[in-house]
Amino acid sequence: MDSSNPYAPPQADVRDVVDPSAPLTHADRGTRLVAAILDQIIATAVLMPFMTAFFVAIATGQFQTGDTGLTAAMATGAMVTVVAGAIWCWLTIRFVLANGQSIGKKVLQIKVVRADGSPASLGRIFWLRNAVNWILSLVPGYSIVDPLFIFGEQRQCLHDKLADTIVVNA
């Protein structure tokens, strides 16, 4: 006996279709800046409970220089930070997999795609746009030069050029 419901709505896996003939609209420089600031605010908010508990414990003398134990406030802060960090990672990975967006990019409706308009993979975004960029940021001056490339005609930062990606309106 067939157990499917003939009255159920159709089920389909719908993905964004890239029209190769449609021109890509580069995201505005200001929008990209605000998205990056939003992402940094979110990342800082994730770390804030532990950092606050740590500094409060030091200021109140609950945590001395030679003390290796965690105070209750620090343990609570660490637990909140781990939970918030897990939620942040889950949302970020989910958005990047779905449409090449961080949380800030999702809010501002911009996304990262390959230079030819095809979707950028999670690996390309994580490794080439973020990990390699972070390693290069250890070179003095790189962190200043990287964002200045956005003033070029293609509006690509140096990390975009390394990963062969562009940021467009979603």
Domain parsing of the chain, residue ranges: 29-169
Give 133-159 pLDDT, tens digit per residue: 999 999 999 999 999 999 998 899 999
Give 75-122 pLDDT, tens digit per residue: 787 888 889 889 999 999 999 999 999 999 999 999 999 999 899 999
Please say whether the beta carbons of 81 and 50 come within 8 A.
yes
Neighbours of 114 (CB within 10 A): 16
Which pairs from 89-93 meet CB under 8 Å and 24+ separation?
93/122
| Helical spans, DSSP H, in the chain | 29-59, 72-99, 103-107, 122-123, 132-136, 142-148, 158-163
Q: Is 71 exposed, middle or buried (0-12, 13-18, 19+ CB in 10 A)?
A: middle
CA distance 60 to 30: 42
Give 31-86 pLDDT, tens digit per residue: 999 999 999 999 898 888 878 887 887 777 776 655 556 667 777 878 888 898 89
Residue 152: name the closest of 138, 166, 170 by CA. 166
Please say whether the beta carbons of 90 and 122 come within 8 A.
no
Predicted TM-score of the model (pTM): 0.76
Residue 132: name the closest of 163, 90, 110 by CA. 163
Q: What is the DSSP string of 82-111?
A: HHHHHHHHHHHHHHHHHHS--HHHHHTTEE
> Which H or E element spans position 166?
strand 165-169
Please say whether the beta carbons of 24 and 62 come within 8 A.
no
